[in-house]
Copies of this chain bind each other. A is one copy, B any other.
Amino acid sequence: MIRPVGSDELKPLFVYDPEEHDALAHEAESLPSVVISSSAAGNAVMLGGGYFTPFEGYMNVADAVSVAETMRTTDGRFFPVPILNLVPDVSAIEGASRIALRDPNVEGNPVIAVQDVQAIEEVTDEQMALMTEKVFRTLDMEHPGVKAFNSQGRFAISGPIRVLNFSYFQTDFPDTFRTAVEIRNEIKERGWEKVVAFQTRNPMHRAHEELCKMAMEAVNADGLVIHMLLGKLKPGDIPAPVRDAAIRKMVELYFPPNTVMITGYGFDMLYAGPREAVLHAYFRQNMGATHFIIGRDHAGVGDYYGAFDAQTIFDTEVPPGALEIEIFRADHTAYSKKLGKVVMMRDAPDHTKEDFILLSGTKVREMLGQGIAPPPEFSRPEVAQILMDYYQSQQQQ
């Protein structure tokens, strides 16, 4: 089985021993504490579940800057983005060597992790700008990731953490949230060797289904892990239960048995395009995938990144040998009326737009809301039905 990055085994930072867990939770209540950023909480969840193995906590500024610049810490360990605990105010934890980190995303701000403080450093404007520029390739505060990164505060608290819970992800998504430990275990149980991972946060239409099948066929995969980004709903988002039902129906009807796992993870999207693609590949290797699908404008937003920057970064910036997982490089896929099947658009250079069945997201939502199923070349009818039921129930409210 593929090894975790830089380690022979996963090192989840969740405290599994119940006695130790109780003791730590108890101790945490009397520690100086700070409410951390949503981004830092997402890091804690990923560290807790083993996705960021072998890292053991938040980086100091030197490591964060080094990672932003070179994807290596000062002592040479590979990681694609800074893992930071940035807060605006450290007066409550002044002088403390051990602190409780409180979760901004759960009511009452319960403790999500306990951190041993190695240093508290103030990040300079230059360092923030440097990291922003390197990670996001822009300083534009309109970029949602740039804005979130720069709105956290300027004090970087570094040091190892131990994780007490998985924030709201495990509790709100009890049937889909998985740690890297669980997914790795299940891949091993299933006896899969070659495993393709697919990132999504939406229901999958035929283009996505066929893309996964193309990747599986190309690499002769034993299985596919659909790995959904879980999180709070944004306006227009489809609720998790509806998305899950639509994906399960697709898998049940259109994939062979024992070739797909449907799972989810909790993290805040960075919208960092290429760098985030590398991060995505990193934690998919940790969960046991051997191949990761990266399509057009992966993890991008607006026009900040070139269509294939998230693929070429693996050639130009990822240090050779840093990752063992392989990238399946994809283009948009769509149904070709000429060829009578879903194809990758780059494989049909003679096609014009009119040769494909293309529908915008807005158009599809509009149709579904009116109870009109998109053509079967675009959406599987059984999947469309689940989505139509949802949109129509929404309109009745």
B-side contacts of A232, CB under 8 Å: 18
CB contact under 8 A between A189 and B258, given known A107-B25, A232-B18: yes
A251 near B: Cβ within 8 Å? yes
A76 near B: Cβ within 8 Å? no
Q: What's the Cα separation between A251 and B189 when bound, in Å? A: 8
A35 near B: Cβ within 8 Å? no
Give a binary string over A224-259; 1 marks a CB under 8 Å from any B CB, 0 the rest.
000000001100000111000000100110001110
Q: What's the Cα separation between A189 and B19 when bound, in Å? A: 35
- The residues in A between 176 and 223 inclusive whose CB is less than 8 angstroms from any CB of B are 179, 181-182, 185-186, 188-191
Q: What's the Cα separation between A107 and B191 when bound, in Å? A: 40
B-side contacts of A257, CB under 8 Å: 189-191
Question: Across the interface, do A18 and B239 meet the contact criterion of CB distance under 8 Å?
Answer: yes
Least Cβ distance of A19 to chain B in Å?
7
A75 near B: Cβ within 8 Å? no
A118 near B: Cβ within 8 Å? no
The segment from A167-175, A277-285, A320-328 found at the interface with B is A167-175
Question: Across the interface, do A233 and B18 meet the contact criterion of CB distance under 8 Å?
Answer: yes
Contact count band on A: 35 or more
Q: What's the Cα separation between A238 and B179 when bound, in Å? A: 23
CB contact under 8 A between A252 and B188, given known A19-B233, A107-B25: yes
CB contact under 8 A between A179 and B175, given known A18-B240, A258-B258: yes
CB contact under 8 A between A172 and B258, given known A189-B251, A190-B190: no
With a 10 A CB-CB cut-off, give which of A19, A49, A191, A262 has the most chain B CB atoms.
A191
Least Cβ distance of A185 to chain B in Å?
7
Q: What's the Cα separation between A175 and B258 when bound, in Å? A: 21
Residue of B nearest to A22 (CB): B107
B-side contacts of A18, CB under 8 Å: 172, 232-233, 239-240
A286 near B: Cβ within 8 Å? no
With a 10 A CB-CB cut-off, give which of A170, A175, A258 has the most chain B CB atoms.
A175
Q: What's the Cα separation between A170 and B172 when bound, in Å? A: 11
A152 near B: Cβ within 8 Å? no
Least Cβ distance of A288 to chain B in Å?
13
A142 near B: Cβ within 8 Å? no
Question: Across the interface, do A262 and B170 meet the contact criterion of CB distance under 8 Å?
Answer: no
A261 near B: Cβ within 8 Å? yes
Least Cβ distance of A141 to chain B in Å?
29
B-side contacts of A189, CB under 8 Å: 251, 257-258, 260-262
Least Cβ distance of A165 to chain B in Å?
6
B-side contacts of A165, CB under 8 Å: 171
Question: Across the interface, do B16 and A240 meet the contact criterion of CB distance under 8 Å?
Answer: yes
Question: Across the interface, do B25 and A191 meet the contact criterion of CB distance under 8 Å?
Answer: no
Question: Across the interface, do A16 and B248 meet the contact criterion of CB distance under 8 Å?
Answer: no
Interchain residue pairs A-B with the least CB separation, the first 10: A191-B257, A16-B241, A191-B258, A190-B258, A175-B182, A175-B181, A165-B171, A18-B172, A175-B179, A174-B179
Jot down 22 A-B pairs with beta carbons below 8 A, ordered by A: A14-B174, A17-B239, A18-B239, A49-B174, A165-B171, A166-B171, A170-B170, A170-B174, A174-B179, A175-B181, A175-B182, A175-B185, A185-B262, A186-B261, A189-B251, A189-B257, A189-B261, A190-B190, A190-B258, A191-B256, A191-B258, A258-B258
**Contacts A185-B262, A186-B261, A190-B190 known; 12 new A-B pairs at CB < 8 A:** A17-B241, A18-B172, A18-B232, A19-B233, A25-B107, A165-B171, A170-B170, A170-B174, A189-B258, A190-B257, A190-B258, A191-B257
